[in-house]
């Protein structure tokens, strides 16, 4: 592919440890100067497109200003999630005070990291990953990046390939993202790299002594290493009339589709919970023209995470967009005839709502697959140990694939 060399900036305009975004034709490029060398990489994060020039440059790393994905400043290599891809990089030449960048005719903004694929002739064993979310997927990618050629199997209870779950409460719920935008990778990517995804499979038990997964239909799956990346489960409401129609949860793709369908007819929605997912859901439903009231026991949104001052700032922003709040309140129950029509607060106030969305998670799903009590505590402790195959320099530690051996040893000690 032919390249054209273009004068992009002056060396005197960029000091060591600085970044500068420039345009080469219609292509935005980020110039980075470190250790008296200049580098050129794609200007926007490969995750959600944040301008990296607004991020931080620290010891040869560029940190995204939005979700803190990290990239190598010299090469554009992806160092830490949540992004999946590296940045495109472009050759740089410095002549006197002029910085020249060589760009191909159709420059890409990203590149997929190099990965191995499954090789049945090399007996490296099998790693099973329970959970088809971003963490489970990223574990499989990292293994292939670091040279693991054994079998990798992802097990998910959903009927979909791994998708961008955090976007469910954002662009997808707001109607700004199509369903086909949501998968983390196209189907052929998994086939190319030998990553098997078992969909619609429910795990009943994990037999750590036998290194065996037991599914709810009685079928079993052996493993050599196991990574539990199931995430949390939604907090179900144990309140009067919580079984009324249109009282919904948000965790899965199907949950989001239920909410979208209900929002097509709803006039007023009540969101129970005022942290990130709750506030994102409120903003998304407002974009759909639904009146929204957020109910939470906290004094301000994000209080536990960001504190009172910043939380109050976000409250004012959402109020400016028409969101109403009932803060410092708890939900006592619901009213309605088959379909919910009001949320009853502990103050006695009734909030009109024909759509209610409860936000929050209360426990990890490992408690549902026979890993409980002292064994669960041991599992949680083991998660701080890095999986040996993962490049420790990149710090992409995925909370230990090796807990199975530790739990097996614990079982044997308990039996003796």
**Cα of 302 vs its chain's centroid, Å:** 19
Mean pLDDT of 243-261: 96
The answer to whether residue 236 scores a pLDDT higher than 60 is yes
Compute the distance between CA of residue 327 and CA of residue 305 in angstroms, rounded to an integer: 16
Place of tokens 């998968």: 183
For the ranges 142-151, 163-172, 401-410, the lowest mean pLDDT is seen at 401-410
The answer to whether residue 412 scores a pLDDT higher than 90 is no
| Six token digits for residue 369 | 């697959």
Contact between 190 and 161 (Cβ < 8 Å):
yes
Question: What is the CATH class of 126-233+365-415?
Answer: alpha beta
Q: What is the pLDDT of residues 9-27, one digit of tens each?
A: 999 999 999 999 999 989 9
Domain spans, the chain = 3-111, 126-233+365-415, 236-359
Q: What is the pLDDT of residues 192-209, one digit of tens each?
A: 999 999 999 999 888 888
Say which residues have a Cβ less than 8 Å from residue 149's Cβ, sequence separation at least 6: 116, 117, 118, 119, 122, 124, 194
Q: What is the pLDDT of residue 361?
A: 64
Rg of the chain taking only CA atoms, in angstroms = 25
| Six token digits for residue 239 | 């309140």
Mean pLDDT of 143-171: 94
Model pTM greater than 0.75? yes
Measured distance between the N- and C-terminal CA atoms of the chain, rounded to whole angstroms: 67
> How many Cβ atoms are within 10 Å of 360's Cβ, its own excluded?
17
Quick one: which of 241, 188, 254 has its CA closest to 356? 241
Compute the distance between CA of residue 31 and CA of residue 19 in angstroms, rounded to an integer: 6
Q: What is the pLDDT of residue 230?
A: 85
Quick one: which of 342, 348, 310 has its CA closest to 329? 348
Q: What Å distances lie between residue 152 and 2, 8, 226, 385, CA to CA?
A: 38, 44, 10, 20
Sheet containing strand 195-198, strands side by side: 195-198, 151-155, 126-130, 225-228
Mean pLDDT of 336-355: 97
Answer whether 126-233+365-415 and 236-359 agree in fold. yes
Q: What is the pLDDT of residues 32-73, one digit of tens each?
A: 999 999 999 999 999 999 999 999 999 999 999 999 999 999
What is 3-111's CATH superfamily?
Rieske [2Fe-2S] iron-sulphur domain (2.102.10.10)
Q: What is the pLDDT of residue 369?
A: 60
Mean pLDDT of 348-368: 80
CATH 3.50.50.60 fits 236-359, yes or no: yes
Q: What is the pLDDT of residue 229?
A: 86
Sheet containing strand 78-80, strands side by side: 56-58, 61-63, 70-72, 78-80
Positive or negative, the CA dihedral 105, 108, 109, 115 is negative
Q: What is the pLDDT of residue 4?
A: 79
């Amino acid at each position: 592919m032919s390249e054209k060399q273009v004068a992009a900036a002056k060396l005197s305009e960029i000091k060591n440890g600085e970044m500068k975004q420039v345009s080469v034709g219609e292509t935005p490029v980020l110039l980075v100067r470190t250790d008296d060398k200049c580098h050129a990489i794609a200007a926007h994060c490969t995750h959600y497109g944040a301008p990296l020039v607004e991020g931080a440059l620290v010891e040869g790393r560029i940190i995204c200003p939005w979700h803190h994905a990290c990239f190598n400043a010299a090469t554009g290599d992806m160092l830490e999630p949540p992004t999946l891809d590296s940045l495109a990089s472009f050759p740089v030449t410095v002549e006197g005070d002029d910085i020249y960048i060589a760009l191909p005719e159709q420059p890409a903004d990203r590149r997929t990291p190099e990965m191995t694929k499954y090789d049945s002739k090399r007996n490296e064993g099998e790693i099973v990953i329970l959970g088809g979310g971003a963490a489970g997927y990223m574990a499989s990618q990292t293994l292939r990046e670091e040279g693991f050629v054994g079998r990798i199997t992802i097990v998910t209870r959903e009927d979909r390939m791994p998708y961008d779950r955090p976007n469910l409460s954002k662009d997808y719920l707001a109607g700004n993202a199509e369903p086909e935008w949501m998968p983390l990778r196209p189907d052929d990517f998994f086939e190319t790299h030998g990553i098997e995804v078992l969909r619609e499979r429910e795990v009943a038990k994990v037999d750590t002594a036998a290194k065996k997964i037991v599914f709810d239909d009685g079928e079993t799956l052996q493993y050599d290493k196991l990574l539990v990346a199931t995430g949390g489960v939604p907090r179900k409401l144990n309140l009067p009339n919580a079984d009324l129609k249109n009282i919904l949860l948000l965790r899965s793709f199907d949950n989001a589709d239920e909410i979208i369908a209900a929002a097509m007819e709803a006039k007023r929605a009540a969101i129970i919970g005022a942290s990130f997912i709750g506030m994102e859901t409120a903003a998304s439903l407002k974009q759909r023209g639904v009146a929204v009231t957020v109910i939470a026991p906290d004094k301000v949104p994000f209080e536990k995470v960001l504190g009172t001052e910043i939380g109050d700032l976000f409250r004012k922003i959402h109020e400016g967009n028409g969101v109403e709040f009932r803060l410092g309140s708890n939900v006592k129950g619901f009213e309605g005839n088959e379909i919910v029509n009001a949320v009853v607060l502990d103050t006695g106030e009734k909030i009109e709502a024909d759509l209610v969305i409860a936000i929050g998670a209360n426990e990890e799903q490992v408690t549902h697959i026979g890993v409980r009590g002292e064994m669960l505590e041991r599992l949680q402790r083991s998660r701080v140990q890095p999986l040996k195959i993962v490049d420790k320099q990149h710090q992409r530690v995925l909370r230990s694939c090796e807990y199975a051996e530790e739990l097996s040893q614990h079982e044997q000690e308990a039996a003796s």
